[in-house]
Amino acid sequence: MTLKNKIFLDALKRENHQEKIPVWLLRQAGRYLPEYMKIRSQYSDFFQMIKKPEICKELTLQPLHRFPLDAAITFTDILTIPDAMGVPVEFISGKGPVFADSICKNEELRLNSDGALKKLEYVFEATSLIKSSIDVPLIGFTGSPWTLFVYLYYGESPKNHDELNNYLKLKSHNTHSYLEQLTETTKDYVHAQIEAGADCIQIFDSWGGLLDEKYQELSLNYINQIAASVQDDIPIILYTRDKLIDNIIDLTPIKCFNLDTSDNIDTHISKSITIQGNFNPQNFHADEDELKKMAELVYMKYKNKENYIFNLGSGLTPDINPEKVGYFLSQLSSFRS
């Protein structure tokens, strides 16, 4: 399908010359939408659902039917890679992802890259189906190797960071071995998404904030390897949660950054990079008058910026009313009309 507009891709390349702000949202498809919950209720396990390409296509398209968005993002999960590498994961209500095994319980845990890409075929099939059904750019994504390693270490969302830090000190070689394996599979995963139709890739370094002085060694270096493996005309966006990008910008070839809520757009907007994100999704709890003022402020500040994309600093959560999201986006869209 022919693209309706390219302002999202233009902004990624710092070439959006229109007074129109591109818009997409972290977790724009998900639990805050009643139409999503209706489908989710039909599946006992989240992974059972996302392994059905037609369902992923439908879930990806839901927010595009509701809101004036300038990009779609394939509905899948960052934990598809460890699942495909032989460590099954299920999502348990009230607990989140739980792996069948973990490094902290089993220091002999093996990852198997043989056949991993074949096991991920459902993602690529969904990507192709979505691409053929939309007239806006499609975002593919992956977790960073470090973030995937953190999940594999704990076997669930991390809690006691001292335990992980001790492992990093005592088992540095093992840590890098896991990160290298995850990086190689992630490269293949990203390339296959691009071949299936993804116009750009967002890397989610969700647990990058756990690292301080070792961030470059254990996370950014591996992210950079992935970015370097991608053809130059495919933009890469980096989202590192709980970490300011000041000390990252000069250490990576990546030129597009999704800021979390703690960072400051205006500190970076004049640099030769693209900025998206930072808007706190909890702002959507405001009344309509406040939402209109916020939309107008965003538009007036960034309408002439060739390198700005409106997005969030963290994902939409179930407590957010989609009608409020719709009202804000309709206001922002009305200013740019």
The position carrying tokens 């999202």 is 8
- Residue 1, in any domain of the structure: no
Q: Which residues pair with 141 in a beta bridge?
A: 202
Mark the ranges of the chain whose per-residue pLDDT is less than 70.
1, 336-337
Q: How many domains does the chain have?
A: 1
CB-based contact 308:274 (threshold 8 Å): yes
Residue 2 lies in a domain: no
The pair of three-digit structure tokens given for residue 34, joined into one six-digit string: 């009643």
Tell whether the torsion through CA atoms of 15, 141, 312 and 214 is positive or negative. negative
Across the chain, the runs of DSSP E, i.e. the strands, are 72-73, 89-92, 96-99, 138-143, 200-205, 236-240, 256-259, 274-277, 308-309
DSSP letter at 158 equals: -
Residue 198 belongs to domain with CATH number: 3.20.20.210
The answer to whether 34 and 100 have CB atoms below 8 angstroms apart is: no
DSSP assignment of 232-246 equals: TTS-EEEEETT--ST
Q: Decide if 213 is inside a domain.
A: yes
Active site (catalytic) residues:
27, 31, 40, 77, 151
| pTM assigned to the model | 0.97
Q: What pLDDT, on a 0 to 100 scale, did the predictor assign at position 331?
A: 96
126 domain-assigned? yes
Supply the pLDDT for residue 234.
98
Q: 275 lies in a domain? A: yes
Q: Is residue 31 part of a domain?
A: yes
CB neighbourhood size of 118 (10 A): 8
* Domain containing residue 332: 7-336
The tokens 């009202």 sit on which residue? 327
Supply the pLDDT for residue 336: 66
Helix axes 172-196, 145-154, angle to 10 degrees: 120
| Angle 233-14-335 from CA coordinates, rounded to 5° | 125
pLDDT at 337: 57
